[in-house]
Structure 1
Amino acid sequence: MQESVFCMVVSRTRLIQAIACFLSLYKTMDNFKVYILCVDEKCYEFLKKINFDKIVLVTISELNREDLLAIKASRKLNQYCWTLKPGFIKYILTLEESIKRVTYIDSDLFFYQNPNVIFENQPYDSVLLSSGEVFLPMYSKEVNNTIQSLTGNFNSGFISFKKDIDGLSCVNWWDKMCVDSCTSNPEDNKFGDQKYLDDMPFLFNNVYEITTQGVNIGHWNSSKYKFTVLNDTIMVNNNKLIFYHFSGFRIISKYDIRQVHEQDRVNTPFIYQIYRRALEKIINDVEKIDPDFKGYFTVDAVDDN
C-alpha cells in the first residue's frame, strides 16, 4: 500500500496537460499513486477508457459533500476547481488507513526528477508549501512587491499534507475558507485558494516552505534561473529541475497552444518547446482513441486561470 500519494482536480479543458503530468511521473517514479477528481463526465469517461495504471478516478458525488455540490453553479470552472482542492485532499486523507501523506499537484506540472526527494528532505514537517516568489525583471521592484502581496507568498500548485493533527487541522481550515470564497481576482486579501496559504504558518504548527531546490518554478520567477542540460539532466542554475509549473498554457487546438502570461516574452526557457511537443503528441494519441475529442479551451476562456 502507498503511504504517500498524489491527487489532482481535472476538468476536460485540462485533460491533455493532466496526461502529460501523469506520464512525467511514470518516467521519474517507479512506485506512486495519483487520485484524480474528475470535475465533469467527459473527463471521467475518457480517463476510464484509457485505464492508466497507478491512477484512481473519483467523481464529485463520491466526496459526499452537499456544500461543494451546492456552490458549483455559482462559480466559474477555474474557481470551482480551486474550491474542490482542499476538500479532495481531506477525502483522500481519510480514505485508507495506510495513507500517511497526500500531495496535491496541479495538472500543468511536469516532472523531470523523482519528487520524493522533497519529502525525504523534510520528513517531519506536517505541511509543505511551495514558494511563490515573484521575480519579473520587466517590472519595477515596487510592481513586483505589489503582485507578490496580491497573489501571496506561496503557490498552491504543489502542496503536501501529512495525516497528523497539524496537517489535518490545516487542511480542514483551508477547506472552509475555500468554500466561503475562491475569487479569481485578488481582492480583500484573498486570491483563489492561494492567498490563504500565507496564513498557514502562523495559524498552525509544523507548516514549512519546501527547502529542496528546483521545485515549482513558473512564469512568475523563471527569469531568475538559467536552464541548462548536464549529462541529460535539466538543471536550473546549479540544481536539478525536479518539476516545472507550466501555468498559463492554454490548448485551443492541436495547432494553437498558447502561453497567455508570457505573450511578449522573447527568451522563454527551452523546456517550453519540449513541453509543447509533448502536448502535441498526446493530442495526436488522444484523437486516435477519441476522434471527436474536444476537450480544449475556447478562445473566449483563454484568460481564465
Structure 2
Amino acid sequence: MKNAFCTILSRYKLYQGIALYQSLLYNTKDFKIYILCMDDDVYAICNQLNLYNAILVHVKDLENSSLTLMKNERALNEYCWTLKPIFIKYLLEQRNLGEHLTYTDADMCFFNDPAPIYEKNTEYTVMLSPHDFSKGSREIELICGKYNSGFIVFRNNKSSKKVLTWWQHKCMEWCYDRVDGGNFGDQKYLDLMPRSFEKIFRINTPGVNIAPWNEQKYNFRRRDGKVYINNHKLICYHFSGLRIIDKGKFALILGNKKVDELIYLPYIHILKDVIEKIEKIAPDFNGFYIEDKYRDSAVYFNI
C-alpha cells in the first residue's frame, strides 16, 4: 500500500468526511483511509456506503475508563481532538501500514494527487503543515499556533510513535476549544514538537492545506481541468470555514466569506450529492450544524 490516510468522523463531519474520501478516490491511485467513527450511526452509515479501500474503526475500540471520563467532560470536538494522537498511534501499532500515515481533517478536500508531498520530503519523522497565515491574519498565529493539526504526516517508525506518545499525554492533560496558558486544543502543542524531537519538518510542497486563513496570498485559476494556485497545482483545500445548515443551505464563518466558483461551488455540489446518498440509506440522520458562537457573524447562502 503506497498511501495511508486517516480521519475522524463525528455525525457533524460525516458529509464532509465522505466528500474527503471521494476526493482521494478520484485523485489517488493506491490508498487506504482509516476512519474513526465517533458513534453507532456514523459507523453504520459508512458501513452501508461500502466505501472502497476504507477501513472503519469504532470509537469503542479505542476507549478505556480514562477516555470515558474525558468523553463526559469535554465537548464533542474537544474529545475528537483528544483522540487524534491516540488514533494515529493505534493505527501505526495495530495495522499493517506502509511507509507513512497522513492524518487529515474531515473537511479537507483533495484537488490533485498528494504524491509530491512525500516525494519532496524523505528524511522526516513528522511533517507538519504551517498555517502560513495571510498578512492580515498573522497575529492569530500567537493564539492558534504555527502549524495546523488538520494535516500531519507521520513516518511509520519508532521515532514518530515517541512523538505521538508525547502528544497523547499532552492532549489527555488538556485539550479544550479555548486559549489557556499558551494552549489551544490539540494544536498549539505542535509548536513544541520541533524543539523536543528530531526530524520534525515543515511541509513546503506548494498547494498543501490552502485554507481561509492563507488563501488571500494566492491567485486561483483553472488550467487543463485542474485548479492552480499561482503556478502550482492545488493539492488540498481545507474547508474549515464551511458549515452545512441543511441540504440546500450553507454558511461561511472564516476568511473573506466569499463563495469562490473554482473551489467552493464544486465542493458544495459534491456535498449535496453525499447528503442525498445518505438520506436514501438513513432518512432520519441529521448531520447539519453550526456553532452558536458563529450564528450571527456567518454569511449564509443557498445553492
* TM value normalised by structure 2: 0.92
Equivalence for 2:89? 90
Aligned to 1:296: 288
The aligned residue for residue 130 of structure 1 is 129
User: 1:272 aligned to 2:255?
Assistant: no
CA RMSD of aligned residues (A): 1.8
Matched, 1:254 2:221: no
CA distance in 2, matches of 1:258, 1:189: 30
1:274 Cα deviation from its structure 2 partner:
1.5
Alignment of 1:2-13 (within 5 A): 2=1, 4-13=3-12
Contact 1:166 1:206 in 2 (8 A): no
| Cα distance in structure 2, aligned partners of 1:301 and 1:93 | 36
Q: 1:232 — aligned with what?
A: 225
* Segment of structure 1 superposing worse, 179-188 or 85-94: 179-188
Greater Cα shift, 17-26 or 251-260: 251-260
Displacement of 1:123: 1.8
The alpha carbon displacement at 1:301 in A equals: 7.4
Q: State the shift of 1:96 in Å.
A: 2.9
Query: What is the aligned partner in structure 2 of residue 220 from structure 1?
Result: 213
**Equivalent position to 2:148, from 135, 152, 155:** 155
Deviation, 1:290, is 2.2
Aligned partners of 1:231, 1:268: CA distance in 2, in Å? 19
Partner Cα separation in structure 1 for residue 77 and residue 88 of structure 2: 17
Partner-residue secondary structure (3-state), 2:13? helix
Equivalent-residue separation in structure 2 for 1:232 and 1:133 (angstroms): 27
User: Aligned AA for 1:17?
Assistant: Q
Q: Structure 1 219/298 Cα, relative in aligned 2: closer, same or farther at 3 Å?
A: closer
Give CA deviations for 1:114-169 in whole Å, capped at 9, x if unaligned: 112211111221100001122154xxxxxx34311111011011101112232111
**Residue 110 of structure 2 corresponds to residue 111 of structure 1:** yes
Is the 1:90–1:168 contact (alpha carbons within 8 Å) kept by the matching residues of 2? yes
Residue 26 (structure 2) pairs with residue 27 (structure 1): yes
Q: Provide the C-alpha distance between the structure 1 equivalents of 2:227 and 2:290, rounded to a whole number of angstroms.
A: 33
Map 1:168-179 onto structure 2 (within 5 A): 168-179=161-172
Q: How far does the alpha carbon of each residue in 1:68-95 deviate from its partner, in whole angstroms, 9 at most, with x for none?
A: 2221010011111111110000000001
Q: Residues 134-145 of structure 1 correspond to what in structure 2 (within 5 A)?
A: 134-135=133-134, 137=136, 144-145=137-138
Deviation at 1:267, TM superposition (A): 6.9
- 1:12-55 per-residue CA deviation (whole Å, 9 max, x = no partner) reads 11100000000000000111111111111111111111121101
* Structure 1 pair 61–233 and aligned structure 2 pair: CA distance change class (3 A): same
Give me the whole-angstrom Cα distance separating, in 2, the residues matched to 1:269 and 1:217.
16
Figure out how many residues of one structure are paired with residues of the other and give that number: 295
Change (3 A) 1:10 1:266: closer
Residue 115 of structure 1 contacts residue 242 of structure 1 at CA under 8 Å; is this kept in 2?
A: yes
Alignment match, 1:73 = 72
Relative to structure 1, the CA distance from residue 250 to residue 266 in structure 2 (aligned partners, 3 Å threshold; closer, same or farther) is closer
Deviates more, 1:93-102 or 1:79-88: 93-102
Describe the shift of the 1:50–1:242 C-alpha distance in structure 2 as closer, same or farther (beyond 3 A). same
Consecutive aligned runs of 4 or more in structure 1 exceeding 6 Å deviation? none
Taking a change above 3 Å as real, the CA distance of residues 290 and 203 of structure 1, as seen in their structure-2 partners, is same
Matches of 1:116 and 1:168 in 2, distance apart? 23
Please state whether the residue corresponding to 2:12 is helix, strand or coil.
Answer: helix
Measure, in 2, the Cα distance between the counterparts of 1:240 and 1:18: 22
CA contact (8 A) 2:27 2:110 kept: yes
- Contact 1:213–1:239 under 8 Å retained in 2: yes
Separation in structure 2 between the aligned mates of residue 267 and residue 259 of structure 1, nearest angstrom: 8
The residue matched to 1:103 in structure 2 has which SS? strand
CA contact (8 A) 1:113 1:243 kept: yes
Inter-partner Cα distance in structure 1 for 2:291 and 2:101: 34
Q: Is 1:245–2:244 an aligned residue pair?
A: no
The 3 A distance-change label for structure 1 pair 145 and 110 is closer
